[in-house]
């Protein structure tokens, strides 16, 4: 459903077909937004037209002087359907600006747009009956070709996207060729709800949120087990790849943040405090701490690449309206690392980071990736640090590193940070959504600001290059993505509870406890459910709690000293010796934790 704004560098045949389908759909959606405007003007003549637009997920139109309730959506949708039934045709015509002004004499925002244009220019307008809109795009031939339409939401949106402007009322919707396609869309929306990590987190008792700390996670025991398992695997991978792990303070003198440049850019979203008249800030990222570590002693080219990783607890005062479950929080663990290198090591280190990312995220069940290289915007304004040559070389190195690994990528123009270009790795989840977790950023800024040095082979002082990178990004957010991808059915090695031991009746409780203790002793995460409820009910509880293995014990198992094991998502159970079962679980876990 989600299509990225980026243009793919290379297109596969499939991509081409998708693009054609998307183009047709865009025409449909674009045609629909005019109808939305007509419907609103008919029902609410006082409303003033803003702009309409097609997005990746439908279309919207913004209006000023329009107050509508959620229940009005049905009213507007009915009106749109009426207009569609009228079968009015779209017409595009070219007008002189002067002439066009006349059409919009009661539409101040349309006038604003026209008045900004050169008076001698011509403009394309589209008409639907006696309704006119500024528009040069193509439409479907006739309204009747819109087979199904659905208005989805009312929201606010700043005029021209500028928060200094007033807020308009935005009505969003979606349209399809036919009812079946709309049905599929509704089914997909329902599916999304079932994968919502906030609901799953509550059901599986993984975490909670409380008004006393908005945007900060309270990890419950099962959620913390999951988080710790991820961390344990992360540490293993980093040790193997030559990283050293450090931990730096979360409260640091504001002078450090002034020196790093964060104070100028992000002061308003940093938490600060005064202690003995000195101002401190809680770290919003870990790099300055890492730099103080680098500066601790003089470094030689022999020490490079110096790979320093930190699971940094960072705080960012995200605006209240942007908080969203685990996906957007104010306190989180960032799996940061800083790699200090000599310039000639750049390409090799970039490739290593990409490999590490793809391998690690793949282990969590994400096999579908795409890559973006974020470069400067085409208007090379003064906001970027470093000179043109540095940038061009860096961008070229990022691209060639991906090419060396045979990865295709797209270019995200203008998405580079002010201090350097970056590679972003997007994972595609099972619902076709893209999430950016890993990012690798080149930094021209910090090594200079902190006067980082190393001694080269000739004994001369040189400035190292610095790579920032995260693989999972925020652990909180990554867990959110993982829960949505798996619908809470985590793989065995990540399940907070791996097996539920269920004796058929209290007669077999003793055997059940023996088995349970054997599993616990070998660090298999197990529970025993020997309450006096029916067997079916206890199995149901196990399945709802998404415990992957169900161990049922009765007369047959006791007399043969075996266990019956059923995978929660399979119908058949099999008989195992307890040691075979433990060995199997340990084998799955072995290379990860």
Partner RNA sequence: GCCGACGUAGCUCAAUCGGCAGAGCGGCUGAUUUGUAAUCAGCAGGUUGGGGGUUCAAGUCCCUUCGUCGGCUCCA
Interaction site with RNA (CB under 7 A)? 67, 69-70, 153-158, 161, 163, 167, 169-170, 172, 198, 202, 209, 211, 214-215, 262, 265-266, 269-270, 284-285, 316, 318-325, 328, 417, 441, 468, 504-507, 532-537, 539-540, 543-544, 550, 552, 554-557, 564, 566, 568, 571, 573
> Minimum CB separation from RNA for residue 573, in Å?
4
Considering the complex, state which of residue 225 and residue 543 has its C-beta at the smaller distance from RNA.
543
Considering the complex, state which of residue 269 and residue 428 has its C-beta at the smaller distance from RNA.
269
Q: Where are the beta strands (DSSP E) in 429-486?
A: 434-443, 454-455, 461-462, 465-474
CA 236-240-244 angle, 5° bins:
85
Considering the complex, state which of residue 6 and residue 139 has its C-beta at the smaller distance from RNA.
6
Considering the complex, state which of residue 276 and residue 570 has its C-beta at the smaller distance from RNA.
570
> Minimum CB separation from RNA for residue 194, in Å?
12
Nearest-angstrom CA–CA distance, 345 and 304: 9
Report residue 468 CA to chain centroid gap: 19
- 505 CB-near residues (< 8 Å, 6+ apart): 535, 554
- 219 CB-near residues (< 8 Å, 6+ apart): 206, 207, 227
Integer angstrom CA distances of residue 438 from 165, 327, 431 = 35, 15, 19
> Minimum CB separation from RNA for residue 555, in Å?
4
Considering the complex, state which of residue 239 and residue 540 has its C-beta at the smaller distance from RNA.
540
- Phi, psi dihedral angles at 89 (to 5 degrees): -100, 155
> Minimum CB separation from RNA for residue 166, in Å?
8
Considering the complex, state which of residue 262 and residue 299 has its C-beta at the smaller distance from RNA.
262
> Minimum CB separation from RNA for residue 532, in Å?
3
CA Rg, the chain, in Å? 29
Q: Where are the beta strands (DSSP E) in 9-103?
A: 48-55, 58-64, 90-96
Considering the complex, state which of residue 522 and residue 566 has its C-beta at the smaller distance from RNA.
566
> Minimum CB separation from RNA for residue 589, in Å?
23
Which tokens in the block code for residue 92?
């595009």
340 sits in which H/E element:
strand 331-341
Considering the complex, state which of residue 263 and residue 301 has its C-beta at the smaller distance from RNA.
263
Considering the complex, state which of residue 236 and residue 433 has its C-beta at the smaller distance from RNA.
433
CA trace torsion 379, 382, 387, 388 (10° rounding): 10
DSSP string, 239-299: HHTT-EE----SEEEHHHHHHHTHHHHHGGGS-EEEETTEEEEE-SSSHHHHHHHHTTS--
Considering the complex, state which of residue 389 and residue 571 has its C-beta at the smaller distance from RNA.
571
> Minimum CB separation from RNA for residue 156, in Å?
3
Q: Pairing between strand 131-134 and 122-128? A: antiparallel
> Minimum CB separation from RNA for residue 401, in Å?
19
> Minimum CB separation from RNA for residue 69, in Å?
6
> Minimum CB separation from RNA for residue 448, in Å?
16
Nearest-angstrom CA–CA distance, 28 and 59: 10
């Amino acid at each position: 459903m989600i299509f990225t704004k980026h243009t793919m560098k290379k297109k596969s045949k499939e991509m081409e077909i998708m693009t054609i389908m998307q183009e047709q759909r865009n025409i449909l959606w674009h045609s629909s937004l005019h109808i939305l405007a007509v419907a609103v003007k008919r029902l609410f003549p006082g409303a003033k037209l803003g702009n309409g637009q097609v997005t990746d997920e439908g279309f919207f139109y913004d209006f000023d002087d329009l107050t509508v309730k959620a229940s009005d959506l049905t009213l507007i949708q009915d009106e749109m359907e009426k207009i569609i039934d009228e079968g009015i045709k779209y017409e595009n015509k070219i007008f002189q600006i002067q002439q066009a002004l006349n059409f919009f004499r009661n539409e101040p925002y349309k006038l604003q747009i026209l008045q900004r244009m050169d008076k001698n220019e011509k403009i394309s307008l589209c008409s639907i009956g006696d309704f006119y809109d500024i528009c040069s795009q193509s439409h479907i031939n006739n309204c009747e070709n819109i087979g199904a339409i659905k208005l989805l939401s009312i929201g606010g949106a700043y005029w021209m996207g500028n928060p200094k402007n007033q807020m308009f009322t935005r009505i969003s919707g979606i349209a399809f060729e036919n009812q079946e396609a709309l049905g599929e869309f509704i089914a997909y929306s329902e599916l999304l709800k079932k994968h919502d990590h906030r609901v799953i987190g509550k059901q599986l008792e993984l975490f909670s949120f409380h008004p006393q700390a908005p945007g900060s996670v309270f990890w419950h025991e099962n959620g913390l087990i999951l988080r710790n398992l991820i961390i344990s695997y992360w540490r293993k991978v980093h040790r193997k790849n030559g990283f050293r792990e450090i931990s730096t303070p979360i409260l640091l003198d504001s002078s450090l943040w002034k020196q790093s440049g964060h104070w100028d850019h992000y002061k308003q979203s940093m938490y600060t405090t005064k202690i003995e008249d000195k101002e401190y800030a809680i770290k919003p990222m870990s790099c300055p701490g890492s730099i103080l570590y680098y500066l601790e002693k003089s470094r030689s080219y022999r020490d490079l690449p110096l790979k320093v990783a930190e699971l940094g607890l960072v705080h960012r005062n995200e605006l209240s309206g942007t908080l969203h479950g685990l996906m957007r929080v104010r306190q989180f663990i960032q799996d940061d690392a800083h790699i200090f290198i000599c310039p000639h090591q750049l390409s090799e280190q970039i490739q290593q980071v990409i490999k590490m990312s793809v391998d690690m995220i793949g282990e969590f069940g994400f096999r579908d990736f795409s890559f973006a290289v974020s470069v400067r915007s085409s208007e090379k304004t003064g906001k970027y640090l470093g000179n043109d040559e540095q940038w061009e070389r860096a961008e070229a190195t990022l691209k060639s590193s991906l090419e060396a690994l045979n990865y295709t990528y797209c270019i995200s123009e203008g998405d580079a940070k002010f201090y350097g270009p970056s590679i972003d790795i997007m994972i595609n989840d099972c619902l076709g959504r893209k999430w950016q977790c890993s990012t690798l950023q080149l930094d021209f800024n910090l090594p200079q600001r902190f006067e980082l040095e190393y001694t080269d082979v000739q004994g001369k002082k040189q400035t190292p290059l610095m790579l920032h990178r995260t693989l999972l990004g925020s652990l909180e957010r990554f867990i959110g993505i993982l829960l949505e991808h798996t619908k809470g059915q985590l793989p065995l090695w990540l399940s907070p509870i791996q097996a539920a031991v269920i004796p058929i009746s209290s007669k077999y409780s003793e055997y059940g406890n023996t088995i349970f203790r054997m599993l616990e002793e070998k660090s298999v995460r197990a529970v025993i459910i020997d309450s006096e409820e029916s067997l079916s009910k206890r199995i149901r509880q196990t399945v709802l709690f998404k415990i992957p293995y169900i161990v049922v014990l009765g007369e047959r198992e006791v007399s043969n000293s075996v266990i019956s094991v059923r995978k929660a998502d399979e119908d058949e159970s099999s008989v195992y010796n307890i040691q075979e079962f433990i060995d199997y679980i340990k084998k799955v876990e072995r290379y990860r934790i």
